[in-house]
Amino acid sequence: MSTGTVRPSATALSRLRPVDFAHVSIVDGFFAERQKINRERTIPHGFARLQDSGPLNNLRLSAGVDGRYQALADTSGSTFPFLDSDVYKWLEAVGWELGRGTDADLAAAADEAIGVVAAAQRPDGYLNSYVQVVHGGTPYRDLAWGHEFYCLGHLIQAAVAWHRTHDDDRLLGIAMRSADHVDRAFGPDGKEGVDGHPGLEMALVELARVTGERRYLALAARMLDLRGHGLLGEGRFGPAYWQDHAPVRAAATVAGHAVRQMYLDCGAVDVAVELGDDGLLAAVERRWLDLERTRVYITGGLGSRHRDEAFGDPYELPPDRAYTETCAAIASVMLAWRLLLATGKPGYADAIERAIYNAVLPGMSRSGTEFFYVNPLQRRTHRAAEGPGHRGERQPWYPCACCPPNLMRLLSSWEQYVATVDDNGVQIHQYTAADIAAGDIRLSVRTDYPWRGRVTVHIVRSPDRPWTLSLRVPGWCRSATLTLPGATEPLAVGPGTAEPTRQWAAGDTIVLDLDLPVRVTEPHPRVDAVRGCVAVERGPLVYCVESVDLPPGTELEDIRWDRSRDPEAVERPDLGDGVVGVTIPITGVGSGETTMAALPYFAWANRSVEAMRIWIPA
C-alpha cells in the first residue's frame, strides 16, 4: 500500500518519488516534540472546538437533527459557508495519526465525526451543510463565494489519507459519491464552473491516483482550463483575487488571495505531472520563481495584504502589516513539495525549510492550543485598537478556523517531507532525527538540527549495488563539509546537494556538517518597508526581539543595531531543549544596555505578547 499526501502515479512526469509515510519515523528532537504536542494536545483541542464552535453540529443539522446553524462571521449577520472543511482537515490529521499508531480516544472521536459526515450526505451524493441547511438546498448556485468544491476538496484529502494510511475507506466512499455529483454537473458534458476558492483540483488528482478513475483527473484538468476566463466575475476584489484574471498556464506572476493561488498551483502541478504537461508545470515554476524573488518575506511567509488576504506589489513586504496567513505558508509548503517531486531541484526543499520553521510554526503556541491566523514581522509597543480575531495574542480558535486544522494535518504528516527516492537512491531534504526505509535501503539519521549543524546518516541496510545518497546543503549555508566512511578528512560541499554515490554497506556513517554562524541579513534594496534595517538568522531560523527582554520603561522602537559589534549565539534552555538564542549588539536604550536577547521567531509571543520585531534599524 503506497502512502503519502502526494503520490504521483508510476507514469507521472516526476523526478522524485515520496517515501511511504509508514517508512519514515521521526524518532527524536525538534519535530518529534512538535508531532507529540500536535497529537496529544492540538488535535484533541481541535475536536473539542469543532464540537462547540459549530462545524460538527452544522453537519448534524444536514442529517435532519434540529438546531441552529452556527457559522456567524460577525454581528452583521454574515455567515461562513466553508466550515465543513475544518472537520475534513481535522479528519485528515487524524488519518495520519492513526496511520502512525493506534489511539483509542482519537479513533473514537474520528468515528463520531465520520458518522456525522456520512449521515449528512444526501442520497444523491451531494454534501455541504451550508447549502443543505442555510442556503436553500440547491447546489452550486454561488460558485464564486460558496466554497462547495473547496469543501469537497478537503473531504477528498481526508478520505485519501484514511485510505492510504490504514485502508479505512469509509470517507473514500462518501468523497467519491460527492465528487461524482460534481462530475455529473460539471464534467465534460456538464456546465462550466470553477470555485472561487481553488483546492478541489489537487484533491481530484489524488482521488484519481487512489481510485484509478481517470475522470477525476480529467475534471481537475477541465477546472484548471476554465479558470482565467472570467467565469467568476469581478467580485469584491477583482478577478485576480480568485486567479480568474488570466489562464493558469498564462499568468506570469502570483496574484490575489495567497492561499487560493497556492492551492490552485498545487492542483496545476498535480495535473501537469499526471498528464505530462510540461507547459503547465513550467507556468507554475515561473510563478514560483517570481514569488520567491519578489513577494516572500524573510520568514517564508507570503500574502502581505490584509484587505483581501492577497499578494501585494513586488517587494511590497511591510513587516507590521504583514498578513502572512498561516494557511498561506502551509499551502506554500504543499506547493514547494509538489515542485520538488516534479523537478528534484533542492531550492524547493530550501523553501519548505524556511516556511516550516519561520512561517508555519509561528502560527502555533508552544502549548499547541493557541493559533495565529496573521503572522506579522513587527508588533509595536503602542498599537491601534483592533477588531475581534485580529488582536495580538494567539487564539484558541477562530470564527474562520482554517489555520488550526491546517497546522494539524501538516504536522501530523511531516515525515512525508523528510526524504524521497528515485532510481539512483535516496534524497534527504529535511534534517530531523529519523529512521527511513526506502525499498531495500534503511537509513538512520541523527541530528540536533536546527540547533546544531551536524547531521549523521547511518546506513542500516544497503542493497548490493552502488546508489546515491543525496543530502541537501541549504542555500543559506556558506560552509559545509561531508565526511564519508573511511575518509581521513571532510570534503567541502557547496549549497545545493551533496550526492556521494557508492556501494554503501550497513554500518557506514556519513557526517554532514553545516556551519551555523549567526548571520546578519540586509534586506533587498527594493523592499522599501525595511530599508536601513538588518535581520538575524542562524541556520534555517529567523530571529526576532521581544520587548519582554528589554528593561522596564524602555521601548523596542528605540533600539538600534550597533554595526561595530557582532551578534553571538547563546544557549537558551529557558525556551526549550537545546534552543539556541542570539545576543545582538544594540544602542539606543536609555538604561545603557548594549546587548539584547533575540529568540527564534517561531517562539515569539509565548511569554507575553508585547512588542516584537524581526527587522532592526541599523
Grid cell for residue 575: 525556551
Other C-beta atoms lying within 10 Å of the C-beta of residue 225:
16
Nearer to a second copy, 76 or 564 (CB): 76
Helix axes 148-166, 200-211, angle to 10 degrees: 30
| Contact by Cβ (8 Å): 187, 218 | yes
**Alpha helices (H) along 238-277:** 258-275
Grid cell for residue 146: 460558496
Nearer to a second copy, 352 or 586 (CB): 586
Nearer to a second copy, 385 or 492 (CB): 385
Nearer to a second copy, 89 or 613 (CB): 613
CB of 529 to a second copy, least distance (A): 5
Contact call for residue 194 and a second copy (CB under 8 A): no
Which positions from 145 through 184 interact with a second copy, judged by CB under 8 A? 145
CB of 290 to a second copy, least distance (A): 10
Nearer to a second copy, 164 or 379 (CB): 379
Sequence-distant (6+) residues with CB within 8 A of 469 are: 425, 426, 428, 443, 457, 499, 500, 501, 504, 510
Contact call for residue 557 and a second copy (CB under 8 A): yes
Binding mask 211-240 for a second copy (x = CB under 8 A): ----------------------xxxxxxxx
| Contact by Cβ (8 Å): 447, 455 | yes
Nearer to a second copy, 44 or 617 (CB): 617
Binding mask 282-311 for a second copy (x = CB under 8 A): ------------x----------xxxx-xx
Grid cell for residue 113: 465525526
Integer angstrom CA distances of residue 388 from 380, 385, 430, 593: 18, 10, 37, 37
| Contact by Cβ (8 Å): 177, 121 | yes
| Contact by Cβ (8 Å): 547, 611 | yes
Grid cell for residue 544: 526576532
Which positions from 256 through 275 interact with a second copy, judged by CB under 8 A? 256
Binding-residue total with a second copy (CB under 8 A): 55
Among 214, 390, 478, 563, binds a second copy (CB under 8 A): 390
Judged by CB under 8 A, the stretch of 32-40, 51-59, 313-321, 329-337 that binds a second copy is: 313-321
Angle CA 150–67–79, to nearest 5: 40
Among 230, 526, 551, 568, binds a second copy (CB under 8 A): 526
Q: What is the DSSP letter of 360?
A: I
Contact call for residue 531 and a second copy (CB under 8 A): yes
Contact call for residue 522 and a second copy (CB under 8 A): no
Nearer to a second copy, 66 or 386 (CB): 386
Closest to 268 in 3D by CA, of 342, 324, 213, 211: 342
Among 125, 187, 247, 314, binds a second copy (CB under 8 A): 314
Contact call for residue 327 and a second copy (CB under 8 A): no
Nearer to a second copy, 77 or 101 (CB): 77
Grid cell for residue 209: 491516483
Residues of this chain that bind a second copy (CB under 8 A): 73-76, 78, 144-145, 233-241, 245, 255-256, 294, 305-308, 310-316, 318-321, 378, 380, 382-388, 390, 525-526, 528-533, 557, 617
